Chains A and B, each alone.
Chain A
Amino acid sequence: MLRPQTEQDLADAVAAAPAPLRIIGGGTRDFGRPVDGDPLCVAGLSGITLYEPGALTMVAQAGTPLTEIDAALTAKGQRLPFEPTDMRGLLGTTGTPTIGGVFATNASGPRRVQVGAARDFLLGVRYVDGRGTVVKNGGRVMKNVTGYDLVKLMAGSHGTLGVLTEVSFKVLPVPKAQATLTLPDLNEVDGLAAMSAALGSPFEVSGASQGMLSPDCRAPVFFRIEGFASSVAYRADQLSQLLARFGQVEVTTDPVASARIWEDIRDVSAFRDHAFVARMSIRPSTYPAFLFDAMNTFLSYSPKARGFDLMTDWGSGLVWVGATAEALTRNADVAPDPGSTDPQLLGARLLMDYLHSFCAVEGGHATLIKGPRTLREKIPSFQPEAASIAALTAALRARFDPRDLLNPGIML
């Protein structure tokens, strides 16, 4: 494994690489097409370079552990407002998440609707492209339109355009208080309506999610409010009134209990034991059609048991689709001609293909986050792109990484 300790080492390593590289930060976000390449670990480039609480900005080397960043921010009453997903529970990985990995995968949580995603907080990057050239873009100030915004392009590019060596990003103060409002038992239609009403209200809802639906399509719905204590109390009250038509609202003001609810939503803890997990980014009003259509597709052969589980995180604009190993096997029944294929693999493939085709028609995109490695090797994990977009994407990659060295194929 290559373990450069400086940006220059890293640049030299890429320039000299004879074969494709598999880029690793903490190794906790193992999804996408498995990369066949020499591991290049960025964890050696570590440390906070600059932190100015009064300017709400931090600069850190890409391999800096997230725990170190969180500790420094907490000491000054600040945080990463986009609450990056911790994938370890879901994927069963064990490493230490790094700040570079967070931005390379644009890992963002349920506060997306209020503050934005990781890409919205990334102010500047330094990276090594596929030629081994060091490039910088953006900076450490909040408003910057000097030249093209390659910062956004790098965020979520999974290392395929360059290896991040340093990131600068915006942080925000931790609000003094928070509350979680819960409607404990709604069906999926009312759940969606309640979340739309809350997100369209002026009460600054910073999270809206319905938990994993039961077999009869019911689950609790959660809403989050943050700010100064009296403001939180006021908005919790207003929002409870607004939601009264959906039922009696329970309010959790204990910060630890409230925070735990949102950590579970952020980390998709409900699907921890599922064999298959996909993330679907669609607009909320598409959801009823999706539910109806998906259930019809995968229910027909086994009316008692759905072939998948669902939870929604409308704060992030996401639907999470999970399936147990047993459900995947059942889904294989939908195949017109299953042949001799492993039924679990076949079921997973049918489900993922279905999600991709739904998004292709209705807009949005679906990404396989967890699935058998053999599946990830065979089918696209990311949403297949329209031909014109795929051509641009390929042409950009060819310019940034002409030797196809950097995580080749991971975003297929």
Chain B
Amino acid sequence: MEMPVPDARIMAKKAQLVSRLLEVLPRHAVIDDVAETRAYECDALAAYRCPPLCAVLPSSTNEVAAVLRICNDMGVPVVPRGSGTSLAGGALPTADCVILGVARLTDVLETNYDDRFIRVQSGRTNLSVTGAVEQDGFFYAPDPSSQLACAIAGNIAMNSGGAHCLKYGVTTNNLLGVTMVQMDGTILTIGGAHMDAGGLDLLGVICGSEGQLGVVTEATLRILPKPEGARPVLIGYDSNEVAGVCVSDIIKAGVLPVAIEFMDRPCIEATEAFAKAGYPMCEALLIIEVEGSPAEIDEQLAVIKAIAQRHNPVELREAADDDQAKRIWLGRKSAFGAMGQINDYMCLDGTIPVSELPYVLRRIGELSVEYGLGVGNVFHAGDGNMHPLILYNANTPGDLEKCEAMGADILRLCVEVGGCLTGEHGVGIEKRDLMHVQFTAADLEAQMVVKDVFDPKWLLNPAKVFPLDSSAGRRV
């Protein structure tokens, strides 16, 4: 993975930059000590690290604007950072950049149950948004696995999803408005508490733009009334193919579960060894959750169980109470940790048409043999968002490169069957150079002109998303 050569002229201006930043920020909000900047050297894609020139932690939209104006003026690249949980390297610094963290922007600014929205500062964590409204019977729907830690700013940057988006959609479907600062310091208000865009849907393109169009400091989010209850079932099959057909049959039958999760044998084995959730040892395991009143849950589960039975499951277990429901989810929720116990891993998130599931799983198995690296699959089956976890050993020379090559092959496979490189994690640096696989030069150009408009100097998170050869003429 290649990053642009840091600009020595910018690095030479560090002292001047820091003194200008200190004119607009308090001392504690500017981190320029070389040892302390290490805290910002990577995000959750920890294989790549580089301390930034310095980091800033502004406490208001105006401070963010002041910082950006200085950096724009001095030609210094800025990498925005939410909580640093990106799996794609979205917040990876370069040595000549300023990290702009929103960690101090955590307030709830307004809650309104009549209009069903909450307005928060963007550094607030995903789970604590729900935390602010759940005592009144509401919740914020998108629920990425990292929701305890991840910030709304990062959710908006990556258009994050989660296990329950089959029913509730992803971030873009739940975002009503933002306050955003452009690189030149212009503060924009886009959208609001009303639905729909009045003119062009700028909010739609800002969501998922990976911090390249502006720094979002406030967000207006839809909140929904909490369902009366939820209950999962666990279904085991002796083949991936049959499990895939079962998922498709359930969807065709007109049931819309809130979640359909899928785990394959390597993942089930690792999870059992780690979390002891009592899963059956089989080839494929589905966890399907439905919501509503007890009567509605019974009715939906009856349809699901009838379909599941037709495909001869090796196990079909319905949660009788909350405790059993938690046990069913326990294994799924600890799957990543369990895989991490075995070895280092790389988590991919390509999406495929649901109909291609059996073929893609088989091909991944073949690639695993070819490369000699283990793979576990745990993913959102209802929407085709795969999460192959490729195991490798970071201490074995060449293993990371081998793992990356295998990951690239899997993602090419996803595109080949009609899917895409990333379903919810974002492109970042991880999939940046594979963008040519999915897009033509004209497709990429159409996206890059949007950045030209919002950030003409290409200073915001410039080395991400677009292949370096495509963006070369635009970056300074």
A contact set with B: CB distance below 8 Å: 52-57, 76-77, 106, 108, 112-113, 116-117, 119-120, 129, 133-137, 139-153, 155-157, 160-161, 172-176, 196, 199-202, 204, 227-228, 230-231, 234-235, 238, 281-285, 316-317, 359, 363-365, 367, 382-383, 385-386, 388-389, 392-393, 395-396, 399-400, 411
Residues of chain A lying within 8 A (CB to CB) of residue B198: 281, 359, 364-365, 367, 382-383, 385
A201 cross-chain contacts in B, Cβ below 8 A: 225
Interface status of B112 (Cβ within 8 A of chain A): yes
| Min C-beta distance of A328 to chain B, whole Å | 24
Contact partner, A52, options B158, B256, B353, Cβ 8 Å: B353
* Cross-chain contact B422 with A155 (CB below 8 angstroms): no
Contact among B195, B292, B300 with A112 in the assembled complex (CB-CB below 8 Å): B195
**Pair A137/B201 contact, Cβ less than 8 Å:** no
A145 in contact with B196 (CB, 8 Å) = no
Q: Is the CB of A399 within 8 A of B452?
A: yes
Q: A153-B205, A230-B299, A281-B198 are in contact. List 9 more A-B contacts (CB 8 A).
A: A52-B354, A146-B438, A157-B201, A202-B137, A204-B292, A238-B293, A285-B112, A393-B199, A393-B200
Q: CA of A53 to CA of B353 in the docked complex: distance in angstroms?
A: 11
B189 proximal to A (CB < 8 A):
yes
Chain A residues within an 8 Å CB radius of B164: none
From A145, A173, A282, give the contact of B254 (CB < 8 A). Answer: A173
Whether B419 pairs with A139 at a CB distance below 8 angstroms is yes
Give chain A residues whose Cβ lies under 8 Å from the Cβ of B271. Answer: none
* A175 neighbours in B (Cβ, 8 Å): 254
- Residue numbers of B with Cβ under 8 A of A are 112-117, 137-138, 158-159, 161, 165-166, 169-170, 172-173, 186, 188-190, 192-205, 207-209, 225-228, 248-249, 251-256, 292-293, 295-296, 299-300, 303, 351-355, 380, 383-385, 418-427, 431, 435, 438-440, 442-444, 446-447, 449-454, 465
Q: B425: shortest Cβ distance to chain A, in Å?
A: 7
Chain B CB count within 10 A is highest, among A139, A230, A383, A386, for A139
Contact status B444-A147, CB under 8 Å: yes
Give the contacting residue for B195; candidates A129, A316, A386, A388; CB below 8 A: A316
Q: Give Cα A155–Cα B205 distance, bound, in whole angstroms.
A: 11
Given A142-B351, A231-B299, A399-B449; A147-B195 close (CB under 8 Å): no
24 contacts between A and B (CB under 8 A): A52-B353, A54-B251, A55-B384, A139-B419, A141-B385, A142-B383, A144-B423, A145-B427, A152-B201, A152-B204, A176-B254, A231-B300, A283-B112, A283-B192, A285-B114, A317-B196, A359-B198, A365-B198, A385-B199, A388-B186, A393-B199, A395-B453, A399-B452, A411-B200
Inter-chain contacts of A174 with B (CB < 8 A):
254
Indicate if the CB atoms of A106 and B196 lie closer than 8 Å. yes
A396 touches B450 (CB 8 A): yes
Complex CA distance for A284 and B117, rounded to whole angstroms = 11
CA distance A76 to B254 in the complex (A): 10
Q: How far is the CA of A147 from the CA of B212 in the complex (A)?
A: 11
Question: Is the beta-carbon distance between A156 and B116 smaller than 8 angstroms?
Answer: no
Whether A149 touches B204, Cβ cut-off 8 Å, given contacts A199-B116, A200-B225, is: yes
* Alpha-carbon distance A103/B430, docked complex (angstroms): 32
